Structure 1
Amino acid sequence: MRLISLDVLQPGMIIANTIWNESGRPLIQKDVVVSQQIINRLKQLNIKYVYIEDKISKGIEVRESIPVQKRLGAVKKITESFKKLKGVEGKKASYILDQQSSEIGKLVDELLDSILNSKEMLTIITDSFLYDEYLYQHSFQVTLYSLAIAKELGYPHKELKLIGIGAMLHDVGKLQIPTSILFKPGRLTDEEFETMKQHTTFGFDILRNLHSISLLVAHCAFQHHERLDGSGYPRGLVEKDIHPYAKILAIADVFDAVTSDRVYRNKMLPSEGVQLIESGSGKIFDKKCVEAFKRCIVHYPNGTIVLLTDGRRGVVAKQNLNNSSLPLVRIFEENNTLVKSTYMINLEEHPQVLIEKIEPDYLAAVE
């Protein structure tokens, strides 16, 4: 299978991955032949990319790190927990969350087990799942990214769990932001953004009053928008004053935000999100955390069409565990001419050949 932009999806192509809603029901099934009606439906759902089956990518598998049912179950639990807090403020919100702390801890344990028992890098396919509200999906994915980074940094199990709980609850303060701002289908005004920024303080106030969860979790909510150079919020802290857990969450939070669908802007592909994070390494993001992040996240997911610096074009077929930025690529074209027989190149073994760009709009090979 391979990844293709919805802009070039055509009737007759075959869907390779089932698209699910938040209830665990398939909206568009795997192996369905694409019609114009399906294309129109995908556009209505604001989906940017889909996986298709074709000759050049035959046999290439794309598997998400967390099984479908486990992901859907986790997001459902997060949704149920968060919705109980809507419209509730202060110590009452803390009390309600305290009652759910055991369930939240169990959920983090399940996700942590999945991360610890996997030797593969983290792959999350956001376009295969559709949720009514971005907040719940975001909380789940930030938890996975944070756990993967913390694992790579060598944190012990006890701290990994704290980081996971902090990541899952990092945006709980957004439940006290007016829905007109939180779910506004467009960019916020300066005044609205100032209101939105208060979610870090609201989250801190809820979490610091919990009796069943460490105060460190509250600092995850309070500081995940702080930046090393003091440009973050709410306090404009600099590197030495930002908690190590918050430095991890800052990267996970931004990466998921830019690689997920939002009404007011197009999502980035994983490699583009990685480049954005890398550009802030040592400036706004902690360098060690960035390097750990780069090692544990798939930069170019299997099925991605890439153009190499030597003029060859191929589809990512397999990941290199030693270097996530240098995958194995199945070459199907040389200098804009299809090869008679495809072959594999391991970019780790050819340091002079780099990926020049990703091409989800590429169609020539299947015309």
Structure 2
Amino acid sequence: MRLVSIHNCEEGLILAKPLFDQNSRILLNEGSVLTLSFIHRLKAKNIHYVYVKSEITNDVEVNDNISTNLRFETASKLNEVFSNLKEGKVSKNKTIGRVGLIKDLNNVFEKIMKEMNSSKHLLNLLSHMQFSLDELFEHSVNTSLYALSIGKHMGLKDSELHILGLGALFHDIGKLKSKDNLKKEEAENNKDSWKRHPEVGFEMLRKESEFHLLIAHCAYQHHENFDGTGFPRGLKGTEIHLFPKIISIAEAFDHLITHKSLLPHEAMEVIVGRSFIRYDSKVVETFKNAVAIYPIGVTVELNTGETGVVIGYNKKYPQRPKVRIFKDSSGKKLQVHEFFEIDLLIALNIMIVKCDAIIERKKVNS
């Protein structure tokens, strides 16, 4: 199967995986043929990428670290918690723990931990973006998955990963109680007000007796910068706890992909460029090796002029994937029997110069 940007979809493509809406209902099933009407509807629902069938990669399987159903279940429980807070159903004398919401969310989170621990694959950064959730829920779930992946590769214990993951899920909860609930665009004109959300989140979470206090500090410190230029307290270096250091990278990475429309390798370049300034370089280095920045199924162009699709990667060096070539250096599409593979971990003189979710569609017989 191939990974395709919704903006590059054409009529006739055949879905290789089903698409879901935010209520976990199937929008289009596997095997559905995309029409212009379907493509417009998917764009309207903010579907970013789709997996489609292709003769180039009909033997390539994409493994998701977290099942679609579990992602929706997590978002649903998180939605319930956030909605209760936003609507004022949780008063000063009644925390979200007392109304039983944390217990339910913890149960779901245990399932996430189990699936991630049992997965033998690096986190596929685009596989989960085939459907759209509420912006804050989606950002929270994505940030948590990225943070867990980093923590797992740093050798954190399960008990530590649990705290880190929940801290990431709730890192932006303070935005629900900020008086003006500013969006990032509005923040440019009222930055001081927007900058209150880490403190607000800390005050909300530290009152939850069922939460480890570190979860509250994750919300409090996730906008602190390594060089001391962050907020709210201007902490730097070792003054910042490891968990919010991880979360700051994870949430920034998700923002670059989701809101700035950067592809994973482009977003990673931005993160790496901010090492020693915003981010701890050791955590950044771990992140580079914890995620598949070139997802299996994505199209890449090499410095040789050849075009191929990523079909695998080396866990220790995910930046150097295996590529199946289907176009030669002149742009001519090869016949199936002419396809060949290049392992960039061996061919060190060959580099990826462009990455995009574009596919050469095969005509569908009517």
Instruction: Work out whether the TM-score is over 0.5.
Output: yes
Among 268, 277, 281, the alignment partner of 1:283 is 277
Q: CA RMSD in A?
A: 2.3
Distance 1:94 1:278 in 2: 43
Shift of 1:285: 0.8
- Find the aligned partners of 1:10 and 1:135 in 2 and give their Cα distance: 30
Q: 1:1-367 residue pairs with structure 2 within 5 A?
A: 1-88=1-88, 92=92, 95-99=95-99, 100-124=101-125, 125-131=127-133, 133-177=134-178, 181-182=182-183, 187-260=185-258, 262=259, 266-335=260-329, 336-340=331-335, 341-361=338-358, 363=360
Contact in 2 for aligned 1:152/1:296 (Cα 8 Å)? yes
The AA in structure 1 aligned to 2:285 is E
Cα 1:304–1:251 shift into 2, 3 Å: same
CA–CA distance in 2 between the matches of 1:97 and 1:256?
28
- Would the aligned equivalents of 1:2 and 1:52 in 2 still touch at CA under 8 Å? yes
Give yes or no for contact 1:94–1:210 (8 Å, CA) kept in 2. Answer: no
| Aligned residue type for 1:356 | V
In structure 1, list runs of 5 or more residues that go unmatched: none
Question: How has the CA–CA distance of structure 1 residues 362 and 178 changed in structure 2, closer, same or farther, with 3 Å as cutoff?
Answer: farther
Tell whether the 8 Å contact from 1:65 to 1:122 is kept in structure 2 after alignment: yes
Q: CA deviation at 1:366?
A: 5.5
Query: Are the counterparts in 2 of residues 177 and 196 from structure 1 also a CA contact under 8 Å?
Result: yes
Contact 1:90 1:206 (C-alpha < 8 Å) held by counterparts: no
TM-score by length of 1: 0.90
Moved more, 295-304 or 163-172: 163-172
Residue identity matched to 2:341:
M
Counterpart Cα distance in 1 of 2:182 and 2:93: 21
Deviation at 1:62, TM superposition (A): 2.1
Q: Distance in 1 between matches of 2:339 and 2:57?
A: 10
Tell me the CA shift for residue 166 of structure 1. 1.1
Task: State the alpha-carbon separation in 1 of the partners of residues 181 and 203 from structure 2.
Answer: 22
AA partner of residue 214 (structure 2): L
Which secondary structure does the structure 1 equivalent of 2:186 belong to? coil
Letter in 2 for 1:208: R
- Evaluate the alpha carbon distance shift between residue 154 and residue 249 of structure 1 in structure 2; reply closer, same or farther with a 3 A threshold: same
The answer to which of 135-144 and 54-63 deviates more is 54-63
Flag the 1:98–1:298 CA change in 2: closer, same or farther, 3 A. farther
Give the letter aligned to residue 10 of structure 1: E
Look up the equivalent residue of 1:278 and give its one-letter code. Answer: V
Question: Following the alignment from structure 2 to structure 1, what is the Cα–Cα distance between the partners of residues 194 and 257?
Answer: 20
| Contact 2:14–2:34 (CA under 8 A) maintained in structure 1 | yes
Alpha-carbon distance in structure 1 between the residues aligned to 2:105 and 2:49: 32
155-164 or 297-306: bigger deviation: 155-164
- After superposition, the Cα gap between the structure-2 partners of 1:33 and 1:90, relative to the gap in structure 1 and judged at 3 Å, is closer
Q: Identity, % of aligned pairs? A: 32
Q: TM-score, normalised by structure 2?
A: 0.90
Matched letter for residue 18 of structure 2: T
Q: Residue type of the partner of 1:226?
A: E
> Mean Cα displacement is larger for which, 229-238 or 218-227?
229-238
Runs of at least 4 residues off by over 4 Å: none
CA distance in 2, matches of 1:247, 1:86: 27
Q: Give, in whole Å, the separation in 1 of the partners of 2:94 and 2:318.
A: 41
Structure 1 residues 49 and 177: alpha-carbon distance in aligned structure 2, compared to 1, 3 A threshold:
same
Contact 1:88 1:176 in 2 (8 A): no
The answer for unaligned runs of 5 or more in structure 2 is none
Q: Is the 8 A contact 1:87 1:175 kept in 2?
A: no
Please report how far the alpha carbon of residue 93 of structure 1 lies from its aligned counterpart in structure 2 after TM superposition.
Answer: 7.8
Shift, 1:205, TM fit: 0.5
